[in-house]
Amino acid sequence: GIVATLVDERMTRSVLVEAVDARTALMAARTIETRTEELRELVRGCSRFARLIGVRHEINANLLFIRFEFATGDASGHNMATLASDVLLKHLLETVPGISYGSISGNYCTDKKATAVNGILGRGKNVVTELLVPRAVVADVLHTTAVGIVELNIRKNLLGTLLAGGIRSANAHYANMLLGFYLATGQDAANIIEGSQGVTMAEDRDGDLYFACTLPNLIVGTVGNGKGLGFVETNLTRLGCREDREPGENARRLAVIA
């Protein structure tokens, strides 16, 4: 059968601050790196479920982009991450010298955009699904061979996407199926943009077909906006995502089902 592995999970928000020059921005970034535990305590104090799990930065000229990474329980976490980032930003502006306000979101998050940074650093849930299809099934049902599938995957999904200028993506149509799943389970449909990114892998294993899909940016949750609709509640219940579990477990289950 199909095996799904949750590789990573985090929700992000990147704030933007301005310094007088790049050196000052770098000094601010280094100061922030030494105060991670202090920032974690601030997040614990402003949210029941949000937990700060990472802080990264990018400097461009005199601008400092600070990418906060959060665990957000069973929520997809957009609003939770933004509210926590707002608290962190205000604190940093008051306590780190040489920086001033730029924006609550600097687009280095990156939300609802096809970018490389999400696949590299993570945003949402990163899920890998794998399947080994026996040689007989490949021949009798798919009417081809493992070698044929591998060759087509290379030519179409890998080379075709490369020529088209795809960003960290090599698949046929993840978006078609994923959008239906998002709508049925009350997710933010606009997240299909980064959700459409992913890589299809195929290998010939002595005539059997190893087939895998890696989806690094699944933005799903089982609580929050969009979950109060009747059909959504019905679907989440049928999928076993309304059980009494530790915070985050229902959302993880939903991600691997997707």
Q: What is the pLDDT of residues 123-133, one digit of tens each?
A: 999 999 999 99
Q: Are residues 99 and 128 in the same domain?
A: no
Q: What is the mean pLDDT of residues 37-53?
A: 96
d(CA 15, CA 87): 11
Q: Are residues 97 and 134 in the same domain?
A: no
Q: What is the DSSP string of 39-98?
A: HHHHHHHH-SS-EEEEEEEEEETTEEEEEEEEE-TTB--HHHHHHHHHHHHHHHHHHSTT
Q: Is residue 2 part of a domain?
A: no
Q: What is the mean pLDDT of residues 3-13?
A: 97
Q: Are residues 48 and 155 in the same domain?
A: no
Query: Is pLDDT above 90 for 239?
Result: yes
Q: Are residues 131 and 234 in the same domain?
A: yes
Query: Is pLDDT above 90 for 74?
Result: yes
Query: Is pLDDT above 90 for 165?
Result: yes
Q: Is residue 143 part of a domain?
A: yes
Residue 218: which pLDDT band, with cuts at 50, 70 and 90? very high
State pLDDT tens for residues 196-210: 999 999 999 999 999
Q: What is the mean pLDDT of residues 24-52?
A: 97
Q: Is residue 5 part of a domain?
A: no
Q: Is residue 136 part of a domain?
A: yes
Q: Are residues 70 and 170 in the same domain?
A: no
Q: Are residues 131 and 164 in the same domain?
A: yes
Q: Is residue 113 part of a domain?
A: no
Q: Are residues 133 and 86 in the same domain?
A: no
State pLDDT tens for residues 80-115: 999 999 999 999 999 999 999 999 999 999 999 999
d(CA 104, CA 191): 19
Question: Cis omega before residue 110 (within 30°)?
Answer: yes
Residue 149 is part of a domain; what is its CATH number?
3.90.770.10
pLDDT recorded at residue 153: 98
Helix, strand, or coil (residue 243): coil
| Residue among 126, 124, 125 at smallest CA distance from 12 | 124
First to last CA, the chain: 15
pLDDT recorded at residue 111: 93
Q: Is residue 110 part of a domain?
A: no
* Structural domain span for residue 230: 124-257
**Encoded tokens for 101:** 């306000």
Query: Is pLDDT above 90 for 225?
Result: no
Q: Is residue 209 part of a domain?
A: yes
pLDDT recorded at residue 101: 98
Q: Are residues 80 and 36 in the same domain?
A: yes
Q: Are residues 66 and 136 in the same domain?
A: no
Q: Are residues 81 and 181 in the same domain?
A: no
The model's pTM is: 0.92
Across the chain, how many H-helices and E-strands are there?
Answer: 11, 7
pLDDT recorded at residue 226: 85
pLDDT recorded at residue 171: 95
Query: Is pLDDT above 90 for 119?
Result: no
Q: Are residues 62 and 160 in the same domain?
A: no
State pLDDT tens for residues 137-156: 999 999 999 999 999 999 99
Q: Are residues 184 and 130 in the same domain?
A: yes
Residue 61 is part of a domain; what is its CATH number?
3.30.70.420
Q: What is the mean pLDDT of residues 2-23?
A: 97
Domain count, the chain: 2
pLDDT recorded at residue 228: 86
Q: Is residue 69 part of a domain?
A: yes
